[in-house]
Amino acid sequence: MTKFIPVVLTTFLLLGISPALQSSKVFPFSYKIEELENGLKVISIPLNNPNIISYYSIVRSGSRNEVEAGKSGFAHFFEHIMFKGTKNVPRKAYEDFLTRLGAGTNGYTTDDYTCYFVVFAGRENLEEVVKTEADRFINLYYDEEMIKTEAPVIEGEYYASVSSPSRRLSELLRDTAFEKHSYKHTTLGYLKDILDMPNQFEYSQLYKNRFYAPDNIILLVAGDFDHDQLMAYIKKYYSGWKKSNYTLVTPKEPPQTKAKRAHFDFPSKTSPMLAIAFHGPAYSEEKIDKAALDLLAKTSFSSSSPLYQKLVIEEQKCLALSASFSDHRDPYLLVFNATLKDEKDLSYVEEEIFKELERLKNEPVPEDVLADVKSNQKYSFADELGTTDGVAGTLAGYINLTTDPETVNKLFDLYEKVTPGDIQEMAKKYFNKTNSTVATLTGGKIK
């Protein structure tokens, strides 16, 4: 969750026509991967565009890592703490350092990872950035008073988040759909756990030692630099960092055997909302399940799909209709979302979505529609690689999933292999009523 920008971001250099459009590979850039003895992995992507460097620190720690009962929200807590400075470089000194460089920094937390990045100009500043970022991670410092001060800030962020009807619905959906896995809670965590954070200093230190360690972190650096020089700096400043040797074991989610339902009465007037979720597969660059389901979402629930045209354009029952099949390290949810004009149509829209999923089990997606979606998907991805930070920022999530940039090319090769028959098979495999969770939200009719 993006929360902190101490300086204005630098202007990123456009690369012109993306190399991805000139290559058979959707991710065409050369890269190198090296690993220090302490387990710190470095992915280096030198680019021909002059002067700009994006320096990403990917911590493989998100709400997925919060497996102990009563201890949710700590991945997000550390996103806050990481901007508080160290004894060597206090917060004000860190902000002054970035200002002097004309650099930008930020961070965000997801279910699977937390990401920190610095974007700056000039090869001559690379060593100082490496040194400062290494200090920020290795010498991360906070005391009991700081956790007591920061917890109310996080509490306020939680209240701000759930003041959004869509986020409240998402929270309800996940809590209802999952029984055991830590995906049950959002990145913000449960409110009761946030309120107890001031009493959890000892646990927070345990969390830090487990996950803010070199064997759980990947450095992703893209832009104008020399790889050997970069590695010399990284070895100089990171090699003394001790690994944790901790292995995370997430709870295994049992198969869902009966349909679930939940409803939330929002305290103020809002458009009615519907979310239908099915337990789905984890990300894979080898198994066709997730790739076929991604294409199902784009062929059958995009703005050009027949169902969207019917419910949103023609009948005007819905203000919005979409499918969200996000990539996760462990099996996650396949979610269909609808925002309606009138709550009396909630049952009708739900029935129409289930009817469409039944149709997809029996009728193949037209070949030409599937081919167009594949082409558009490839070109859209290539377009995201048009800047230095576009390369690093787009790749960060995939790096978390597999730790290897080549996963992108493997994934798009898999997309190309998906047939209409594969999409039918995946619809039959996953979209069953007993595997479904329906969550609704109402808060009064919109006049």
Confidence of residue 50 (pLDDT cuts 50, 70, 90): confident
How many CB atoms within 10 Å of residue 421? 11
What are the tens digits of pLDDT across the range 327-340? Answer: 999 999 999 999 99
Q: Give the model's pLDDT for residue 20.
A: 45
- The whole-chain average pLDDT of the chain stands at 93
pLDDT at residue 169 tops 50? yes
Calculate the CA dihedral of residues 131, 136, 137, 140 and round it to 10 degrees. Answer: 140
What proportion of the chain, given as a percentage, has pLDDT over 90?
92
Q: Give the model's pLDDT for residue 8.
A: 32
Which residue, 206, 89, 65, 192, is CA-closest to 137? 89
**Is the separation of the CB atoms in 253 and 180 below 8 Å?**
yes
What is the CATH number that goes with domain 19-238?
3.30.830.10
pLDDT at residue 64 tops 60? yes
Confidence of residue 34 (pLDDT cuts 50, 70, 90): very high
pLDDT at residue 10 tops 70? no
Pairing of strands 217-223, 104-109: unpaired
Average pLDDT over residues 274-302: 97
Confidence of residue 15 (pLDDT cuts 50, 70, 90): very low
The tokens of 86 are what? Answer: 């160290």
More confident residue, 3 or 27: 27
The packing angle between helices 288-300 and 420-430, to 10°, is: 100
Confidence of residue 5 (pLDDT cuts 50, 70, 90): very low
- The torsion angles phi and psi of 26, rounded to 5 degrees, stand at -70, -30
Alpha-carbon Rg for the chain, nearest whole angstrom, is 23
pLDDT at residue 444 tops 70? no
Q: Who contacts 346 (Cβ-Cβ below 8 Å, separation ≥6)?
A: 272, 274, 340, 440, 442
Q: Give the model's pLDDT for residue 174.
A: 98
Average pLDDT over residues 376-386: 94
Helices (H), 224-287: 227-238
Cite the residue boundaries of each domain of the chain with CATH code 3.30.830.10.
19-238, 260-442
**Does the domain spanning 260-442 belong to CATH 3.30.830.10?**
yes
What are the tens digits of pLDDT across the range 179-207? Answer: 999 999 999 999 999 999 999 999 999 99
**Is the separation of the CB atoms in 52 and 247 below 8 Å?**
no
pTM score, whole prediction: 0.91
Q: Give the model's pLDDT for residue 212.
A: 98
CA separation for the pair 18, 15 (Å, rounded): 6
pLDDT at residue 447 tops 70? no
Confidence of residue 24 (pLDDT cuts 50, 70, 90): confident
Residue 41: helix, strand or coil by DSSP? strand
- The torsion angles phi and psi of 348, rounded to 5 degrees, stand at -65, -45
Q: Give the model's pLDDT for residue 375.
A: 95
Cα distances (angstroms) measured from residue 275 to each of 167, 224, 264, 289: 11, 44, 12, 22
What proportion of the chain, given as a percentage, has pLDDT over 70?
94
